[in-house]
Amino acid sequence: MMHKVFFLFLLISSLLFSACQPGPSVDIPFRAYVIIPAGLNTGLSHHFVIDSIPGVNFDDLTDAQPAYVTLSVEYGESNLDFIHQAYFTTKDGTMKQEMAYQTNLPISNFSSIQLYPSILNMSSHITKSRFSMELKLIFRAIPVTETRIRIDFGVQGVLGG
């Protein structure tokens, strides 16, 4: 009798444990571009809206957390030292949510920088047919040439069962 109760307990426990496990995960990469005009000043924040990013088609996407955001120079300035602060946000009408940020970028002479991901479920945002993002930059120096920046960003998605 005790063996049957113990076996039943193990069976129920394993079923409950397996029901609580998240589904498989998927890496979802995106790429966008912004053009920084030459001569923008250091006294204001500059907002660059990226419209019509193609969304993904996952009907069973239950969660999509920011994984990375990398800004890289494509042409123009030789490095990103002219940027002091960077914020990358979702944009849905007037509503914005921060996906990643870097508030005190060091002078490093690098042609790419990594932003810190925030905690944000982006599943409803990226599953639209097209979605928008915004890059907000605060400069430490005036860019002297037009600069194209590539934004590679991605989310870690969890698929439901």
Q: What is the pTM of this model?
A: 0.83
CATH number, residue 64: 2.60.120
**Structure tokens, 44:** 């204001």
pLDDT digit string, tens, across residues 111-137: 999 999 999 999 989 999 999 999 999
Of 91, 75, 71, give the one whose Cα is nearest residue 134: 91
> What is the model's pLDDT at position 6?
42
| φ and ψ at residue 131, rounded to 5 degrees | -135, 170
Domains contained in the chain, number: 1
Domain assignment present for residue 118? The answer is yes
Positions of E strands within 8-144: 25-36, 45-54, 61-75, 83-92, 95-102, 112-117, 130-139
Low-confidence ranges of the chain (pLDDT < 50): 2-19
Which range marks the domain in which residue 71 is found? Answer: 23-159
Q: pLDDT at position 7, please?
A: 45
